[in-house]
Structure 1
Amino acid sequence: MSITDTMSWNPEALDEILSNDEGRPVLFTNARILTMDPLIGTMTGADLLFVGPLVVGVGPAIVTAAGDDNAIVVDCTGLTIAPAVVDAVALAGGRGHRSEYVATLTPGNTADFLVVPDELATDVPSAVATLMTRPEQAHALVAAGRPVLWAGTEVRAGTAVWAGTAVPGRTAAPEAGIPAAADLTGSPRVGVWIDKNDFLHQELTADGRYDETRGGRRHAYQGRYWIDGDRIDYLDDLGFWAYGEFLGDELHHAGYVMKLG
């Protein structure tokens, strides 16, 4: 299939997916599917069904119920569907149980997958390599059920658009570079966090700086921090990055569990 043919691939289906505010199922049909699930394996002439961000079905003949379910159908004849996230440890035989696999097209998992021509996807690594080196040949890249690339074209709200329309539910990717510090005055997370053994004291200040005391050694580590939801990222003045997580009234960081002092 030529690049020109790729760019004309299933535009009507894309329009339906982008305007899908009713939770309609989406079915990619008649594909070769590299599920990476050791129980399911690889299927040919098969279907991948997802609703919202989750895969709900994989296998042959799901398309027979597409009309009943008012599904959006995407014909993938001659194409291979592969996980968009590569579990390199599993590929190398480093996971002993099916439940340990972190990137499979298993019902119940997140619908993160890519669609490329069969000849460019002999296995999952070659499919991903096609995306990275020949993105114009990527018929689709889907993240949590939402298109990121389609027919070799980036699909993103705010900057790149498809058919002149911003993609609902998608935001622009984070910009590179260190973000400006936020004013955290009044934040309930500003203050001195102390672990249960009174060894680590981590002070978070409203100007986005932190200052750690360890075992009575003041200013052991200092730097900047950013909070995104329940996640906190640290950039130490020495140059290394670290992170923590707020769980209720606790701050978990590098094996320490802290509470506000």
Structure 2
Amino acid sequence: MTITLTDADTMSWNPEALDEILANDEGRPVLFTNARILTTDPLIGAMVGADILFVGSLIVGVGPGIVTAAGDDNAIVVDSTGMTIVPAVLDTVALAGGRGRRSEYVATLAPGNAADFLVVPDELADDVPGAVATLLTRPDQVRALVATGLPVLWAGTDVPGRATAPETGVPAAADLTGSPRVGVWIDRNDFLHQELTADGRYDETRGGRPHAYQGRYWVAGDRIDYLDDLGFWAYGEFRGDELHHAGYVMKLG
């Protein structure tokens, strides 16, 4: 069977709803209604004629009948008749049956998870891989791609002001003068001393052996990325006054 979808079919898809979502500064819920939803969640499964409701970046409801309360919460309603909604982040291990417990599943369309999903016509979504293939091979036919509650693609085109991928490549070192994270971090057993300097360099002493590892580092929020002079990458995480890295827990000395 040949599937024929016209540009007019795509471009006329819910333009008013998109305008409302982009102007949503009041935290109104957003409801995609009357869709076929393939949640990939083993408890919830797949549903037809169902709704997915999210507030901000999180899904708060999935299933039939949610639209009946849309007026109570002043929700923005997106009519998704004839559409299939699937996770935008594909858990290939789960699809292959390789997750032993439901709690191990990644990025399912279950309440409490991030509102990351893809909306494509039923004809182009026999299953989850088929729907994702539409995004990769026929993006003009995608009705919506939503990332943490924010539209990225809509009606086959980029959404104005959408997020864009960071520039590829190793960034220049930042000037971290005055940063509270600059200094010597020491683990609980006094084995690892990791010095973070204001010019974006690190220098590790391990078991009294100086310069065991040296390289560059970058801090983004509570995450620290390391690029060692030997060529490998590593990372750490700041948790309160502690730095967690490769099994070590350090504090400023």
TM range (shorter): over 0.9
Task: State the one-letter code of the partner of 2:155.
Answer: A
Task: State the one-letter code of the partner of 1:248.
Answer: G
1:83-122 superposed matches below 5 A: 83-122=87-126
Aligned-pair Cα RMSD in Å? 1.5
For 2:241 and 2:52, locate their aligned partners in 1 and report how far apart those are by CA, in whole Å.
Answer: 41
For 1:65 and 1:249, locate their aligned partners in 2 and report how far apart those are by CA, in whole Å.
Answer: 45
Aligned to 1:24: 28
For 2:26 and 2:109, locate their aligned partners in 1 and report how far apart those are by CA, in whole Å.
Answer: 23
Aligned to 1:189: 181
SS at 1:27 equivalent:
strand
- Percent identity of equivalent pairs: 84
Q: Are 1:74 and 2:66 matched, yes or no? A: no
SS at 2:130 equivalent:
helix
For 1:3 and 1:178, locate their aligned partners in 2 and report how far apart those are by CA, in whole Å.
Answer: 40
Task: List structure 1 segments (4+ residues) > 6 angstroms apart after TM superposition.
Answer: none
Q: Which runs of 5 or more structure 1 residues have no equivalent in the other structure?
A: 156-160, 162-166
Aligned to 2:150: 146
**1:194 Cα shift?**
1.4
Q: Are 1:9 and 2:36 matched, yes or no? A: no
Length-normalised TM-score, structure 1: 0.90
Task: State the one-letter code of the partner of 2:128.
Answer: V
**1:96 Cα shift?**
2.1
SS at 1:179 equivalent:
coil
Q: Which runs of 5 or more structure 2 residues have no equivalent in the other structure?
A: none
Aligned to 2:55: 51
**1:106 Cα shift?**
0.9
**Partner of residue 33 from structure 1, selected from 34, 37, 50:** 37
Aligned residues: 249
Once the two structures are overlaid, the 10-residue window that deviates more, 232-241 or 90-99, is 90-99
Deviations 1:105-144 (CA, angstroms, capped at 9, x unpaired): 1112111101011122222222122212221121111111
Aligned to 2:135: 131
